[in-house]
Chains A and B, each alone.
Chain A
Amino acid sequence: MLFLDVISSILLISGVFFGLSGAIGIFKFPDFFTRIHAASITDSIATILIVGGLLLQTSFDLNTVKLIFILVFLMITSPTASHALAKSARHGGLLTMAEAKEKKQEKTG
């Protein structure tokens, strides 16, 4: 049992590390489209690692199935949500960094 505890601690702590990195990323990155990438780290790998760590702590019963369901559901919905967000931002007229720079040059030049 101790062996499982060690592995799940490692998974949980590294998951939390990736989560914190993503959280810092959404403040550190310069524009909207790059910030989505930072947020997507916390959505994908942090979720996989934390839920994986919790999975090893269950006694492999109904709770395990519930955790797997949460993992699968988050894995399906998080790319859908970020795609919908990026799409609506782009169609709403938000420019990426390169495009914004071009526009600025056009104005000045």
Chain B
Amino acid sequence: MYLIKWAILLSMFWLLLSGYIQPLLLSFGAASVAVVLLIIKRMDDIDKEPFQTGTGRQIIQYLPYLTGQIILSSIQVTKLIWRSPVKLEPATAKIKAKDLPRDKRVLYANSITLTPGTLTVDLVDDELTVHALQGSSVDELAEGNMERKIDSIWGNKK
């Protein structure tokens, strides 16, 4: 169950911050973890659409690709900044993400925002409003390389 996952995660976080292995401090840690779990349980009643994000093996496959994208586009944007006078062609476009399951669209939107030069302004159902520094990067996104990458790693489970 996901509460157990949270318990393990929170205990690890406590150990990370304190670094002491003494009975008194460990019992304080256990007490705080219990309180947080209680709050999470209560929050679930308010949350209308809970989602489990798939972490683990897939995210490790995805990270190198994302880091590569970040480095490439950062160099592009840095070039734009140092060129004078500044020549920009900002563009706004709507991109469809139909192929992705619902819980992966947030990952897709966040990946777009994390790569410099492109920014997700809005996400309504399967339509992303993307703002880009250069029109060409919108075209690249519309081609759907990143979308296909996410799709190929996580697959169409739903």
Contacts and interface: CB of A to CB of B under 8 A. Distances in A.
Interface of A: 18, 21-22, 24-25, 28-31, 33-34, 36-38, 40-41, 44-45, 48, 62, 65-66, 69, 75, 78-80, 82-83, 86-87, 90, 96-99
Contacts of B111: 79
Contacts, number: 90
Given A21-B82, A65-B16, A90-B122, 8 more contacts: A21-B78, A30-B86, A36-B119, A37-B119, A45-B70, A62-B16, A83-B110, A96-B92
B19 interface: yes
Interface of B: 16, 19, 67, 70-71, 74, 77-78, 81-82, 86, 88, 90-92, 109-111, 113-122, 129, 131, 133
A44 B110 CA distance: 12
What are the 8 closest A-B residue pairs judged by CB atoms, nearest first?
A: A79-B113, A45-B74, A25-B81, A79-B114, A41-B116, A79-B110, A86-B121, A21-B78
Contact of B74 (A44, A79, A80): A44
Given A80-B110, A87-B122, A96-B92, A37 B117 contact: yes
Given A29-B86, A83-B110, A24 B81 contact: yes
Contacts of A82: 113, 119
A31 B88 CA distance: 11
23 contacts: A18-B74, A21-B78, A21-B81, A33-B119, A34-B88, A34-B90, A37-B116, A37-B118, A38-B81, A41-B77, A44-B70, A44-B74, A45-B70, A45-B71, A66-B16, A79-B111, A83-B119, A83-B121, A90-B122, A90-B129, A96-B90, A96-B131, A99-B92
Contacts of A75: 114
Nearest to A46: B74
A40 B91 contact: no
Contact of B131 (A33, A45, A66, A78): A33
B119 A40 contact: yes
B62 to A, nearest CB: 12
B117 A28 contact: no
Contact of B70 (A28, A31, A48): A48
Contact of A48 (B67, B120, B129): B67
Nearest to A99: B92
A31 B110 CA distance: 22
B90 A62 contact: no
